[in-house]
């Protein structure tokens, strides 16, 4: 997998286009959603992605900042987004770290913080 492909996979995952990334997930992938849960294995990660996609189908997402940095088989995605729905608008900052090996996503660490309007 070349550098551009790494960036595309990381970007698709963080823009919630999860299905585009499933083919690149290692069978033993680990997704650490810091402060919440750790998912082990492709089946568990795909199930969580599908749940998230269903939840977000009810929301409108606007990214105000989005950048991907790739180096040496790793990618970092930083974003700032608004999620708007029936319960209001939520401002969220996130940073996701991807580890790749042999063209597959081996690990993801996700840090997410809800921001005040202030």
Cα angle 56, 67, 109; round to 5: 65
**What band does 54 get if pLDDT is binned at 50, 70 and 90?**
very high
**What band does 108 get if pLDDT is binned at 50, 70 and 90?**
very high
Nearest one of 109, 54, 53, 64 to 90, comparing CA atoms: 64
Beta strands in 22-87, from DSSP E residues, in sequence order: 25-33, 37-40, 60-71, 74-85
pTM of the model: 0.92
**CB distance 73 to 101 below 8 Å:** yes
Residue 117 pLDDT exceeds 90: no
Q: Give per-residue pLDDT as tens, 8-45.
A: 999 999 999 999 999 999 999 999 999 999 999 999 99
> Is the four-CA dihedral 102, 103, 104, 110 of positive or negative sign?
positive
CATH for the stretch 3-115:
3.10.450.50
Q: Provide the token pair at 4.
A: 């551009």
Cα gap 90→21, rounded to integer Å: 25
Nearest one of 67, 83, 59 to 14, comparing CA atoms: 67
Coil vs helix vs strand at 87: coil
């Amino acid at each position: 997998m070349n550098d551009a492909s790494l960036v595309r996979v990381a970007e698709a995952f963080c823009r919630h286009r999860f299905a585009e990334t499933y083919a690149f997930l290692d069978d033993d992938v680990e997704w650490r959603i810091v402060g919440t849960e750790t998912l082990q294995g492709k089946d568990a990660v795909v199930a969580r992605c599908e749940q998230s996609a269903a939840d977000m189908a009810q929301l409108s997402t606007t990214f105000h900042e989005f950048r991907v940095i790739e180096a040496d088989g790793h990618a970092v995605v930083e974003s700032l987004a608004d999620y708007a729905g029936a319960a209001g608008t939520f401002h969220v900052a996130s940073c996701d770290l991807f580890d790749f090996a042999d063209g597959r996503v081996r690990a993801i660490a996700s840090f997410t913080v809800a921001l005040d309007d202030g």
